[in-house]
Amino acid sequence: MRLYGLALLFLVPGIALGLDVGDLDLQIHGTVAQGGLLSSHNNYLTAKTSDGSTQWTEAALNAATSVSDNLRIGLQLHTYRLGELGKLKLDVDWAYGDYRIREWFGIRAGKVKTPLGLCNDTQDIDTLHLWALLPQGVYPADNRSWTLAHTGGDVYSKVRLPGRLGKLSYQGYFGSRTADSDGGYFKAAAEAGFSVADGAFGRLYGGDVRWHTPLRGLTTGSSVGMADASGHLSIVNEPFPLTLKSTSDTNTAMYAEFEQGKFYAAGEYRRRIWNLAIPEMRLQAVAQDTRAWYLMAAYRIHPKVNLGAYCSRYRYAALKAFGNPSEPARLYSNDWVTAIRIDPNPYLYFKFEAHYIDGTAGGFYVSTNPTGFDRLTRLVVARIGFTF
Amino acid sequence: MTHSICKTALLGGLVVLVCAGLAAGSEVMVVANSSVKASHVDPSSLRDIFLGEKFSLPEGSKVTPVLLKNGPIHRAFLAAYIGKSEAGFQAGWRNMVFTGRGSLLKTFDSEEALLDYVAKTPGAIGYASNTGGRANVKAISVK
């Protein structure tokens, strides 16, 4: 299934497709992005970035149609490779039916992108963002499969508030999710001596509420997601089959964004409390409380050129784990970023980004940095993307 | 004397602002197929319709928004009624497409093509510099 994901995209005839199949107006869209990363000393996100790496490819292809005035169905396939992660396996990114019972109220069922903060549901679609790398403390590129989507049902609504108080939208969900065994969590677990062969599976529920304020372009909101999970575990020198069980996993986000004409600004705060246990050994394997935030701003200096900068911070407020890092720099990371995106035409874009990272808490793996870590990392990222 | 000059300058400034406002407002006109019952729409509903969040006008007419691909009328419409740059508007629709929440709107290269489509498509709503004299196209005021 690995390279087939990319190959499939090029089997689709034409570009900017809108097909009439009988009475159905079927739209097909896709995107492909290729990235390059070059860093000082530390290797980042499992790629050999200190030598310069182009092991960062991502593609998505979707088809959707409105079956009736109320019913819409669609599907998106997605594949990625980032360093040692992803391996270009083909995944269903989303596939669902969306039925609008009223104009202000509807339900979705299937595999649906999970709302969590501002960008969770779009973090794997590069073409939608100015940034080549979103703030990694909040949207880690190596670990996103765990929060990206759920299989289950959603209810959503958007209502106008009385007077001139703006609008309120909300989305509630319940379902299950699977963590990719080729993702970062299991690579980190393997480095600590745990092997989770088939990934992990669990239920989750949560919601997102957004207030579209009377000030045009200003939106603020909050999300919460609660989950459990379990997976089959093996440990070096331990002959018995074991279970890795998440006893609690709560993600909360608070955010605001403002967009007016050429100007965009956003900020988000995220907290995650996560506990993992091995019941057969009566052992708490991981207990962590992480906090992260970012502030970003962008200005479109030309219709085809967008400039921006952000700063983000990620830190462990509490951490108990096997293989606990002893260096203080492994417990936090601060990232200062400047970025430019150029869209010569609607089908092609380029991104260039410079990062100055202090700390090695997220995205820096022991196995890809065998000689140890520098506290500081300078990173340059370039990306080219095609979309239709 | 100074007081009089100030008053004249203020009055002149006000006249310039009013004229500029009228000129800006007259650049772009919301147009719809004559099957649409409404003669006016509030700015918030118009924005929701072109952002894919609503499918009908407050008086009940179901509408299908259509767009110009680019150009000064397109930019004037986005600036006046949507509050987004061309790229920001396009990014919002791409967001809908790649999360499965919407399909791209029909777009036209010229006002003539857009008006022809609006004239023959019940429920179609778009924008242009004028109605182009089409029999089935009506102007919708925004207030």
More confident residue, A184 or B142: B142
Tokens of A90: 């083909």
B4 close to A (CB below 8 A): no
Distances in Å between the Cα of A51 and the Cα atoms of A42, A47, A338 are 10, 9, 22
Q: Which residues in chain B are contacts of A127 at CB distance < 8 A?
A: 94, 98
Instruction: Say what the pTM is.
Output: 0.87
Number of domains in chain B: 1
pLDDT tens, position by position, B50-59: 999 889 998 8
Q: Which of B63, B93, B99 to mutate to test the interface with A (most CBs of A within 10 A)?
A: B99
Is B70 part of a structural domain of the chain?
Answer: yes
Q: Is the pLDDT of residue B25 over 60?
A: no
- Nearest Cα of chain B lies from the Cα of A270 at a distance, in angstroms, of 22
Rg (CA), chain A: 21
Mean pLDDT within B43-52: 92
Query: What is the structure's pLDDT at A17?
Result: 61
What confidence score (pLDDT) does residue A279 get?
85
What backbone phi and psi angles, to 5 degrees, belong to A384?
A: -120, 140
Any residues with CB less than 8 A from the CB of A367 and at least 6 apart, and which? A187, A190, A191
Determine, yes or no, domain membership for B5.
no
Task: Read off the tokens for B92.
Answer: 């919002």
- Predicted confidence band of residue B5 (pLDDT cuts 50, 70, 90): low
Say what the pLDDT of residue A189 is. 80
Q: Tell me which H or E stretch contains B96.
A: helix B86-99
> Given the structure tokens 């009475």, which residue do they identify?
A23
Question: So what's the pLDDT on residue B8?
Answer: 53
Structure tokens at A268: 């988000």
The alpha carbon of A388 is separated from its chain's Cα centroid by a whole number of angstroms, namely 21
What confidence score (pLDDT) does residue A353 get? 98
pLDDT per residue rounded down to tens, chain A (388 residues)? 444 444 444 444 434 566 656 667 899 999 999 999 999 989 999 999 999 999 999 999 999 999 988 999 999 999 999 999 999 999 999 999 999 999 899 999 999 999 999 999 999 999 999 999 999 999 999 988 888 999 999 999 999 999 889 999 999 999 999 887 788 888 888 887 777 777 788 999 999 999 999 998 999 999 999 998 888 887 777 778 888 888 889 999 999 999 988 999 999 999 999 988 888 888 787 888 999 999 999 999 999 999 999 999 999 988 877 666 678 899 999 999 999 999 999 899 999 999 999 999 989 999 999 999 999 999 999 999 999 9
CATH code at position B71: 3.40.190.10
Helix or strand holding residue B4 (H, E): helix B2-27
State residue A56's pLDDT score: 97
Q: What residues 69-88 of chain B have any CB closer than 8 A to a CB of chain A?
A: 79, 83-88
Q: Which of A178, A204, A196 minimizes the C-alpha distance to A285? A: A196
Say if B102 falls within a structural domain.
yes
- Spatial separation of the C-alpha atoms in residues A256 and A258, rounded to whole Å: 7
Strand, helix or coil at B128?
strand
Distances (CA, A) of A255 to A156, A159, A184, A258, B83: 19, 20, 25, 11, 21
**Domain that residue B127 falls in:** 28-142
Put simply, the answer to whether A125 touches B98 (Cβ < 8 Å) is yes
Q: Rounded to the nearest 10 degrees, how much is the dihedral formed by the CA atoms of B48, B52, B53, B59?
A: 60
From the CA of B83, how many Å to the nearest CA of chain A? 6
Q: Which residue is listed with tokens 């260096």?
A: A327
Q: Which domains does chain A have, with CATH numbers?
A: 4-387 (2.40.160.10)
CB contact under 8 A, A216 and B100: no
Query: Would you tell me which residues 316-355 of chain A have a C-beta closer than 8 angstroms to some C-beta of chain B?
Result: 343, 346
CA–CA distance, B114 with A334 (Å, rounded to integer):
50
d(CA A332, CA A290): 9
Distance CA(B127)–CA(B77), nearest Å, equals: 7
- pLDDT class of B14 with cuts at 50, 70, 90: very low
Give CA–CA dist A106/A156, Å, rounded: 5
Closest to A175 in 3D by CA, of A255, A111, A245, A84? A111
Contact: A74, B100; criterion CB under 8 Å:
yes
Tell me, what's the pLDDT at A325? 66
DSSP per residue, A151-218: EEEEEEEEEEPSTT--EEEEEEEEEEEEE-TTSHHHHHHHHTTEE-TT-EEEEEEEEEEEEE-SSTTE
At A369 the pLDDT is 95
Per-residue b or e along B7-45, where b marks 16 or more CB atoms closer than 10 Å to that residue's CB = eeeeeeeeeeeeeeeeeeeebbbbbbbeebebeebeebb
Q: Please list, in sequence order, all residues whose beta carbon lies within 8 angstroms of the beta carbon of residue B16, skipping any fewer than 6 positions away.
A: none
